[in-house]
């Protein structure tokens, strides 16, 4: 059973572009990113989030307490893999065990878009804030005011930063709307203080930007014999841009052991948060530096303090 007091928000700030692939193409982009079915907004599926945390924690636990000039021993590796099974679960032929940690999908918290008033600004919309309020409630944070934010058509509201005049976001031109959203300012000040130019835009404009403002890169393969482009190798890959901010709700529990020797939740929680304390990699193209995230753990109750 996962309780509010045992859950936290993990904020993920993309240091580099991210490619969490959808696995199939339906349009001009050969390698699209994962998107929510009902909104079309980019996200990272929970299975990918859990897999990235598991792989990261395994590697850190294998190297923990070792001198830099020593190799990981078989015994050390086996202990790390056993701990990963206890925390994240296992499904083997001889034994299956549910994990003691659960992850939600990594959802958008703020999306970076180029603008005329700054190199780029982060955007949010009322629908995103309403969903954020529901997710924060899972961690024990009461933020009902987030779901009551309103913005008029073809306008933008400045939440954080210093912007004046009409704002151009890609192909959108928006006029400034006066309004105070103190609860939004408070939440983002605690969840993502590095987001220093944050604007609120209407839901329909936000959805338009989610479809058109992601990064698309052309890729080719070089023929090793001729040194020229291999015929038919051109493909287009979609990326979630650097500086995108996402979050996942993480629920902690005790090890699902059959006997009384189950490892307690606080021990497992500390092991995971110590291993994944600052940065993690998610998605494909690791060797190209893709998918590097800065991590920040937030306890829900602390957001209301």
CA distances to 88, 133, 256, 262, 267 from 259, rounded to whole Å, are 18, 38, 9, 7, 17
Residue 233 belongs to some domain of the structure: no
Nearest to 128 by CA among 246, 278, 29, 287: 246
Q: What is the pLDDT of residues 33-80, one digit of tens each?
A: 999 999 999 999 999 999 999 999 999 998 876 544 454 556 778 888
Count of structural domains, the chain:
1
Q: How many CA atoms lie within 13 A of 109 on its CB side?
A: 27
The predicted model gives 107-125 an average pLDDT of: 97
Residue 227 belongs to some domain of the structure: no
Per-residue confidence band for 23, with pLDDT thresholds at 50, 70 and 90 = confident
Q: What is the pLDDT of residues 128-169, one digit of tens each?
A: 999 999 999 888 887 778 888 999 999 999 999 999 999 999
Residue 89 belongs to some domain of the structure: yes
Nearest to 104 by CA among 44, 168, 166: 44
Residue 10 bridge partners (DSSP): 248, 297
Residue 198 belongs to some domain of the structure: yes
Q: Which domain holds residue 75?
A: 4-20+34-213+240-303
The reported pLDDT for the residue numbered 68 is 42
Q: Where is pLDDT greater, at 272 or 77?
A: 272
Residue 218 belongs to some domain of the structure: no
Residue 228 belongs to some domain of the structure: no
Q: What is the pLDDT of residues 238-264, one digit of tens each?
A: 999 999 999 999 998 876 665 544 567
Residue 216 bridge partners (DSSP): 238
Residue 223 belongs to some domain of the structure: no
Rounded CA separation 47/28 (Å): 26
Report which DSSP code applies to 93: S
Are 61 and 275 spatial neighbours (Cβ–Cβ below 8 Å)? yes
Residue 125 belongs to some domain of the structure: yes
């Amino acid at each position: 059973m996962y309780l509010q007091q045992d859950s936290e928000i993990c904020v993920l700030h993309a240091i580099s572009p991210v490619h969490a692939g959808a696995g199939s193409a339906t349009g001009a982009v050969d390698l699209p990113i994962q998107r929510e079915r009902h909104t079309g907004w980019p996200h990272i599926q929970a299975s990918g989030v859990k897999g990235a945390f598991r792989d990261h924690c395994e590697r850190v636990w294998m190297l923990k307490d070792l001198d830099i000039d020593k190799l990981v021993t078989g015994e050390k590796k086996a202990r790390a893999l056993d701990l990963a099974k206890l925390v994240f679960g296992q499904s083997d032929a001889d034994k299956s065990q549910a994990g003691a940690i659960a992850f939600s999908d990594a959802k958008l918290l703020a999306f970076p878009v180029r603008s005329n008033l700054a190199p780029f600004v982060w955007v949010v919309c009322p629908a995103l804030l309403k969903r954020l309020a529901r997710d924060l409630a899972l961690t024990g944070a009461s933020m009902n005011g987030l779901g009551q934010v309103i913005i008029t058509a073809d306008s933008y509201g400045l939440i954080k930063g210093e912007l004046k005049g009409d704002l151009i976001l890609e192909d959108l031109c928006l006029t400034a709307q006066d309004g105070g959203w103190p609860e939004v300012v408070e939440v983002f000040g605690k969840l993502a203080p590095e987001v220093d130019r944050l604007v609120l835009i209407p839901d329909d404009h936000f959805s338009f930007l989610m479809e058109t403002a992601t990064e698309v890169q052309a890729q080719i393969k070089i023929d090793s014999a001729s040194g020229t482009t291999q015929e038919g190798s051109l493909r287009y890959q979609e990326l979630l841009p650097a500086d995108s901010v996402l979050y996942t709700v993480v629920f902690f529990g005790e090890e699902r052991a059959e006997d009384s020797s189950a490892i307690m939740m606080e021990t497992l929680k500390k092991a995971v948060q110590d291993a994944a304390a600052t940065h993690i990699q998610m998605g494909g193209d690791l060797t190209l530096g893709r998918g590097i995230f800065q991590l920040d753990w937030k306890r829900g109750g602390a957001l209301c303090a």
